[in-house]
Amino acid sequence: MRIRVVNPNTTRAMTDLIGRSARVVAGPGVHVDAVQPTTGPASIESHYEEALAAVGVLEQVRLGEAAGVDAYVVACFGDPGLDAARELAHGPVLGIAEAAFHAATMVARRFSVVTSLGRTAGRAHELLDRYGFARACAAVHACEIPVLALEDPTSGALEHVTAACRAAVEADDVDAVVLGCAGMAAFTGRISDAIGVPVVDGVAAATTFAAALVRAGLRTSARSEYAPPPPKPVPGLLGGFAIRQTSAPALPVA
């Protein structure tokens, strides 16, 4: 089985971190292919950057389809391009926010989210509502650490995120914490040990769920909303993404 984990930003160090986190939980017989777009923002901390990143997600799904990938993980907590990717892929496509919310409710009654910057909290609330987990989530907290600083050993990121998770448990009286950024994936075990409750990383959750869906023979329904997009011209900058017949976008294979 081959799972492609797509880091929607273009920072190689973060792609490598996400890949390592996914491989730890993938299990035997699962090959994890960690990739990033050929173009796009270095990190995703705004609606503008999320919109740009969605195009890169579609690029990597299209390339994955040509390579015979069985399932995909969109490894950004905003789940950019998730619906569009499901229209292109033959196998299941999971976003890490959706997977993390599901996992949290399987191990706890209520959870809180600890994310990177406060300006991204609105997107987390939007996804909680859309996926049906708004009542299970007590609050969304930001530790105000930029995404790229999470990998900087001099930033004190682990200590800051741990403190924010501990404060969330105490203030919100919750039983679990969801980490609201793929760049926090390496912190999960250490934070959980430090604060004494389950800490959910969406990369791990989505990877394990994706493998389970493939083993169960389940894929995204191609009926109605998630059917392949209709063919039509796409002039200009995104011309390579035009759908021809019912095939995936005719992007050049990198």
Q: Where are the domains of the chain?
A: 2-96+206-241, 97-201
Q: Comparing 65 with 253, which gets the higher pLDDT? A: 65
pLDDT of residue 152: 86
Per cent of the chain over pLDDT 90 is 92
- Distance CA(89)–CA(254), nearest Å, equals 18
Beta-sheet pairing, 31-35 with 71-74:
unpaired
pLDDT of residue 250: 53
pLDDT band at 246, cuts 50/70/90?
low
Mean local confidence (pLDDT), 8-24: 97
pLDDT of residue 198: 98
Per cent of the chain over pLDDT 70 is 96
The chain-wide mean pLDDT, for the chain, equals 94
pLDDT one-digit tens code per residue, 117-174: 999 999 999 999 999 999 999 999 999 999 999 988 888 999 999 999 999 999 999 9
| Beta strand spans in the chain (E) | 2-6, 31-35, 71-74, 93-95, 111-115, 137-142, 176-180, 199-201
Q: Reply yes or no on whether the pLDDT at 251 is more than 70.
A: no
Q: Reply yes or no on whether the pLDDT at 247 is more than 70.
A: no
pLDDT of residue 153: 83
- Distance CA(178)–CA(202), nearest Å, equals 8
CATH of the domain spanning 97-201: 3.40.50.12500
pTM beyond 0.95: the answer is: no
Using alpha carbons, list the distances in angstroms from residue 59 to 55, 78, 122, 223, 235: 6, 18, 26, 23, 17
Mean local confidence (pLDDT), 21-44: 96
- Distance CA(61)–CA(78), nearest Å, equals 17
- Distance CA(230)–CA(243), nearest Å, equals 7
pLDDT band at 254, cuts 50/70/90?
very low
CATH class of residue range 2-96+206-241: alpha beta
Other CB atoms within a 10 A radius of the CB of residue 87 amount to 18
Q: 2-96+206-241 and 97-201: same fold?
A: yes
pLDDT one-digit tens code per residue, 188-201: 999 999 999 999 99
The C-alpha angle with vertex 216 and arms to 33 and 54, in degrees rounded to 5, equals 40
- Amino acid type, 37: P
